[in-house]
Amino acid sequence: MTDQNTTDPQPRFLGKESAQPASPDEAVLDYVPNPRVGELYLTRFAAPEFTSLCPVTAQPDFAHLVIDYAPDETIVESKSLKLFLGSFRNHAAFHEDCTVGIGKRLFDEMKPRWLRIGGYWYPRGGIPIDIFWQSGEPPQGLWLPDQGVAPYRGRG
């Protein structure tokens, strides 16, 4: 894994042609200075077409990911996040490992005030699996909107 936690104001991917990383370990996440340091606000990324592979069958698994965080000194650069999430397409891991791993990597590298991730996995074998992780209690006064993903209802 390369040194991901850069706060270089010139991200290495933005505005440049960028190859899709072969794996999450090879993916580099860029962080830039927070333009609103000291302000309490929530940033949300939604990835409704997240894909990884089942580690047992190698069949594709699909999820709607929602990542919410309250920035501190840095924010994640969105193109590097898109490339990182795309690197899971050929990565075999259970839903729990993907969801929690993404949240922990962002939290450990970016060091936001708070972060949560919801992984709303589409059913395979008849059972949808939803995975939730957060870094701790949200800061007092942070507006936390619902993640907006309806529970799975099948055809009903």
Catalytic (active site) residue 146:
no
Q: To which residue do tokens 């962002």 refer?
A: 106
Distances (CA, A) of 121 to 32, 42, 47, 79, 99: 30, 23, 12, 23, 10
> Residue 31's beta-bridge partner residues?
76
* Cα distance between residue 81 and residue 64, in whole Å: 15
Among 125, 106, 124, smallest CA distance to 116 is for 106
Q: Which of 30, 61, 68, 98 is catalytic?
A: 61
Paired strand residues for 51? 62
Q: Which one of 54, 72, 97, 130 is the catalytic residue?
A: 54
Q: How far is CA 7 from CA 61, 71, 80, 101, in A?
A: 33, 13, 13, 22
Residue 54 annotated in active site: yes
Give me the amino acid identity at 14. L
Q: Which residues are catalytic?
A: 54, 61
